[in-house]
Amino acid sequence: MNALTEQFLAESREALDEIAQKLLALEETPDDADMLTQLFRLVHTLKGNCGLFDLPEMARVLHAGEDLMSAVRNGELAFSQGIADQLLDAMDFVRILCDEMEADRQPTPDMINEALGLASALRSALGGVQRDRNAAPATGSPGTSVTTVAGHPCVPSDWLARLPASVQADAVQAAAEGSPWFWLHYTPAEECFFQGDDPLHQARLTPGLVWGGMSERAPWPTLDLLDAYRCQLNFDVLTRASAEELLSHFRYVPDQITVYAVAPAPLPLPAVETASASESTAAAARAAQALHDVLVAQHEILALPDQLQGLDGRLEATRLTLERCLLAAQRAADVPGLAHAAMQARQNQSAAPLAKWLAFSFPMGDAVVPAAPASGPDAGSRSARRNDDAGNSKTLRVEQDKIDRLMNLIGEMVVARNALPYLASRAETVYGERELAREIKSQHAVIHRISEEMQDAIMQIRMMPVSFIFQRFPRLVRDTSRRLGKEVQLLLEGEDTAADKNVIESLGDPLVHIVRNSLDHGLEAPDVRQALGKSRSGLLKIAARQDADRVLIEISDDGRGIDPEVVKRKAYQKGLIDEATLARMSDEEAIHLIFLPGFSTAEAVSDLSGRGVGMDVVRTAIERVNGTIHLRSVKGQGTVIQLSLPLSMAVSTVMTVETDGQKFGVPMNLVEETMRIPRSALRGIKQQLTAVVRGRVVPLRSLNRLLGLASEPMTNEDDLLAVLVLRIGAGLVGILVDDFHQTTDIILKPMTGVLGNLRGYSGSALMGDGSVLMVLNMGEILA
Amino acid sequence: MTMQFKDKKVILSGVVSVEDAETLLQWLQNHSFARVVFSDCTHVHPANLQVLRAAGVSVSAWPQDHALAKWLRSLFPEAEKID
């Protein structure tokens, strides 16, 4: 199940709970207009949401519910307990559909029927208030005849006359053989063309189609009065498929079809003879229910006090009934046992032996105690359904504030924990308590482990995979590219990359903007591409990956790219830059002009993008979550937009290194290893210092040099240099530092204000001893 | 080309979509006693059929697509052989 479905289910259940709660509250205060509005909105939202999925049944019921609620809200209908009951029933049904969806099951024909029933019940509650616009047109009733075959009315004989003679004969033959064909009368709604339906196509695809025909509802008006887009045709299909198959084929329009069975002969035979396979199972179910009812009745009779008059008669009646039940259930072998029990009962003048036999021979479980009169199967399942609700949900929806509070607390705890090693070293150096220092250290290890796990657990709660936003793109790209007449191949990568919920959510809209821009402005039309020697279909790639404490999202296309000259000129024309800037601007700077507010290169405003609100909105949205946006583009070859966002604001691990007497933090996930190498192992290749690390040549850079410090790297007492080996991108880089210190968990505070421009630092952190550690942004420093 | 007009004939081919009904209606309003050729047609959106029926267009050739032909024959009267 994908994240969208999961979210839909979670939200729907929440909405259903709320609806139920509000309905119950409304029964107390039916005049609460506010509550009514809220209720309407809930139902409305739920209906809207289910439109995203293939859930015609749910939509049908909710739509009817929404209409009813709207009538109540507008004061056209008084809220009553009856309405509440109906809505509650409908919501129960929706909940079942949710369960089915979660279990990845298709709704059964019963459910399709139930949806119809519930919807029409809701609509009938609307009564005269609002004539049902979607009401099924009168389904031409088959004369006065009420004869049915296999539970369906018979096809009127004049309809059969439309069939070719041979088909007619086959149909009657099939019915006589006990597997009647069905005649499906399909009366599409008049406005169905507007909903994108093609009823002829739908009818042609009917499973088991034998014959199909169309007919007109009324004589045609003259051409100038004709509304070609109001459906005036009816469709008839003769099919070998079962009624269930038909129902599922027409599950979007179950109220527009009527299923008739073809009678075996001009004069219909009793239905029993011609029960189809599916019907016989239904018959068996009915028989089982009847047997069940009879047995419950016997239980009740036998439970009557023996002292009542007429015990013998009751016993004999029960014995006879049970004997017939046995025969009906084809258990003739059990009859002697019954006779024996009955005899014992008569001798003892007690119903107990017979009751015991009954309980033994027809075990019915606890559900059927004699005291409880058999409730109809429907009522039973319905009440069971309500009781099942509790405790089903495995997800817990918690307000984000609560989790944020946890995050803050664990952050403080990590800092507090980091004070322990300092305490240990003070105990040792200042007070000379070596033993105590050791104990503090071991306690620190324990607290460290626990807080680590806790922090991880809290992080997990907030983490979401980027697939949450990625999954909308295949559809978006497909629809958009089709609209634009372009061929686009979409490639998604790294969908598992997870980041904080806030970050992920803030990504959605900017990404949509960027993708639309790429489709609209970036990728060329197939013919243009072909002329340029590119493949006809353009490539759009959206890749996500984690890079240290950032999530990188790269949207690249192989389209026409951005022409710096065009951008510069446009910006100048729009007065966004002056002449001097225009002249000295580099290409790289020029293409970044598209992020200026009010900039748009599109010749014409299309409905997709090009209103000049695109890229600056994207930039602002990304910057709001401390993200950065970077653009690369080669004219004629394509554009790459890279979004870099923080993984989360949570705790990160850094390694502390020392150089020139200062301490710096280096993100631990970059650190490949730390090593000490003798000065003699350094080799110079041209200007570049290198060393051989585990058989590989690794370039060495001095941190002092990178930071602009004058001093040379120091060696330790054994004349060994400290090399911090980092993995940057795909390669390794050795950083020469003076000394290594411990790794620490810190809460990284990004640099703000004037310091925010120092791109060499990703932030600062408060250490356990109260000092401030600057954390290096190695990617930036080495670039 | 799903719809071609020739003298008093409209020649349909491939899948005739719902959008085509508008064009068809306009043309038929200006051409009475028209005939329709379905020969190379594989599917017709019912909106088009309604227009053809309302205009009283007679069928000059049924679709080669056997299944579609059966459906159409149920709606249009059998044409008298002319061409």
Q: Is A525 helix (H, G, I), strand (E, B) or coil?
A: coil
| Residues B6, B48: Cα–Cα separation, whole Å | 18
Decide: B71 and A233 in contact? Cβ < 8 Å: no
CB–CB of A193 and B53 under 8 A? no
Q: How confident is the model at residue A697 (pLDDT cuts 50, 70, 90)?
A: confident
Q: In this predicted structure, what is the pLDDT of residue A608? A: 44
Residue count (chain A): 783
pLDDT confidence bin for A600, thresholds 50/70/90: low
Nearest CA in chain A to B45: A198
**For residue A500, pLDDT beyond 60:** yes
Of A214, A228, A229, the CB nearest to B71: A214
Tell me: the pLDDT tens digits for A677-694?
888 888 888 778 888 888
Gap between the Cα atoms of A692 and A489, Å rounded = 44
pLDDT recorded at residue A450: 92
How sure is the predictor about A373, in pLDDT bands with cuts at 50, 70 and 90? Answer: very low
Report yes or no: A733 and A782 within 8 Å, Cβ to Cβ.
Answer: yes
Task: Compute the distance between CA of residue A321 and CA of residue A298 in angstroms, rounded to an integer.
Answer: 8
Contacts of B53 in chain A (CB under 8 A): 216, 220
Q: How high is the pLDDT of residue A282?
A: 65
Average pLDDT, integer, range A483-490: 85
Using an 8 Å CB-CB cutoff, list chain A residues near B63.
Answer: none
Residue among B24, B51, B59, B71 with most chain A CBs within 10 A, to mutate: B71
Residue A329 forms contact with B (CB below 8 Å): no
Asked if residues A518 and A510 have their Cβ atoms less than 8 Å apart, the reply is: no
pLDDT tens per residue, range A262-308: 776 544 334 444 445 555 566 666 777 777 777 777 777 777 777 66
Give me the residues paired with residue A683 across strands: A690
DSSP B38-81: EEEEEEE-HHHHHHHHHTTPEEEE--SSHHHHHHHHHHSPPPPP
pLDDT value at residue A392: 55
Query: CB-based burial of residue A402 (10 Å sphere; 0-12 exposed, 13-18 middle, 19+ buried)?
Result: exposed
The pLDDT assigned to A274 comes to 43
**Which one-letter DSSP state was computed for residue A627?**
-
- Helix ranges (H only) for A164-256 are 165-176, 199-204, 243-249
**pLDDT digit string, tens, across residues A248-273:** 888 778 778 888 887 765 443 344 44
Residue A443's pLDDT is what? 92
The 10 Å Cβ neighbour count of residue A446 is 9
What is the C-alpha separation between A559 and A694, in angstroms, rounded? 43
pLDDT of A472 reads 77
Give me the pLDDT at residue A101, please.
Answer: 85
Range from A20-24, A184-188, A285-289 carrying the lowest mean pLDDT = A285-289
Say if residue A602's pLDDT is above 70: no
Least Cα distance to A629 among A640, B3, A637 occurs for A640
- Interval A594-598 mean pLDDT: 75
User: Higher-confidence residue: A32 or A721?
Assistant: A721
Residue A88 near residue A23 (C-beta atoms within 8 A):
yes
- pLDDT-derived band at A150 (thresholds 50, 70, 90) equals low
pLDDT given at position A350: 77
What's the Cα-to-Cα distance from A304 to each of A233, A298, A310, A313, A366, rounded to whole Å?
Answer: 63, 10, 11, 13, 19
Shortest distance, CA B17 to any CA of chain A (angstroms):
9
The highest-confidence range among A68-82, A424-438, A756-770, by mean pLDDT, is A424-438
Highest mean pLDDT of the ranges A219-223, A253-257, A392-396, A543-547: A543-547
Position A155 pLDDT exceeds 80: no
Q: How confident is the model at residue A664, as a pLDDT?
A: 92
The residues in B 38-77 lying below 8 A from A, measured between CB atoms, are 43-51, 53-56, 67-68, 70-71, 74-75
Q: In the prediction, which pLDDT does A665 show? A: 92
Residue A386, pLDDT score: 46
What's the rounded Cα separation, in Å, for the pair A187 and B62? 25
Give A767's pLDDT tier (boundaries 50, 70, 90): confident
| Positive or negative torsion for Cα A82, A83, A88, A90 | positive
Res A216 pLDDT > 80: yes
ipTM of the modeled complex: 0.90
Q: Searching chain B, which residue's CA lies closest to the CA of residue A218?
A: B54
CA distance A688 to A438: 44
CA atoms of A75 and A37, how far apart (whole Å): 11
Provide, rounded to the nearest whole percent, the portion of chain A with pLDDT above 90: 5
When pLDDT is averaged across residues A569-573 and rounded to a whole number, the result is 83
Q: What is the pLDDT along chain B (83 residues), one digit of tens a residue?
A: 688 888 888 898 888 888 888 888 888 888 888 888 888 888 999 999 988 888 888 888 888 888 888 888 888 877 554 44
The pLDDT of residue A48 is 81
For the ranges A646-660, A735-749, A765-779, the lowest mean pLDDT is seen at: A646-660
What's the full length of chain B, in residues? Answer: 83
CB A675 within 8 A of CB A739: no
Instruction: Using the predicted structure, report yes or no on whether residue A119 has a pLDDT greater than 80.
Output: yes
Res. A568: pLDDT tops 80: yes
The larger pLDDT score, comparing residue A367 to residue A248, is at A248
Using N-to-C axis directions, what is the helix angle for A311-328 and A352-361, rounded to 10°? 20
Nearest to A200 among B29, B45, B51 (CB): B45
**What are A719-730's pLDDT values in tens digits?**
888 999 988 766
DSSP helix/strand/coil, A355? helix
Residues 6 or more apart whose CB falls under 8 angstroms from that of A188 comprise: A197, A199, A231, A233, A234, A235, A253, A256
Output the six-digit token pair for A499. 């980041």
Q: What pLDDT score was predicted for residue B80?
A: 52
| A466/A496 Cα distance (integer angstroms) | 6
Token output for A717: 């007492």
Return mean pLDDT, chain A: 78
Q: How confident is the model at residue A447 (pLDDT cuts 50, 70, 90)?
A: very high
Q: What percent of chain A has pLDDT over 70?
A: 85
Sign for the CA dihedral angle at A329, A333, A339, A341 comes to negative
Taking every pair of C-alpha atoms in chain B, what is the biggest distance, in angstroms? 31
Q: Is the pTM of this model over 0.80?
A: no
Coil, strand or helix: which one is A407? helix
Are A193 and B70 inside 8 Å of each other by CB? no
- A776 three-class SS: strand
Q: Are A204 and A184 in contact (CB under 8 A)?
A: no
Whether pLDDT at A760 is above 70: yes
**Beta-carbon count within 10 A of A616 CB:** 16
What angle (nearest 5°) sits at the alpha carbon of residue A543, between those of residues A538 and A544? 165
A223 neighbourhood in chain B, CB within 8 Å: 25, 28-29, 51, 54-55
Residue A62 pLDDT grade (very low, low, confident, very high; cuts 50, 70, 90): confident
pLDDT at residue A278 in the model: 55
pLDDT at A279: 57
Q: Are A700 and A692 in contact (CB under 8 A)?
A: no
pLDDT at A130: 44
Closest in A216, A221, A229 to B47, CB measured = A229
Contact across the interface for B28 and A223, Cβ inside 8 Å: yes
Tokens 């979660």, residue located:
A102
User: What was the pLDDT predicted at A770?
Assistant: 75
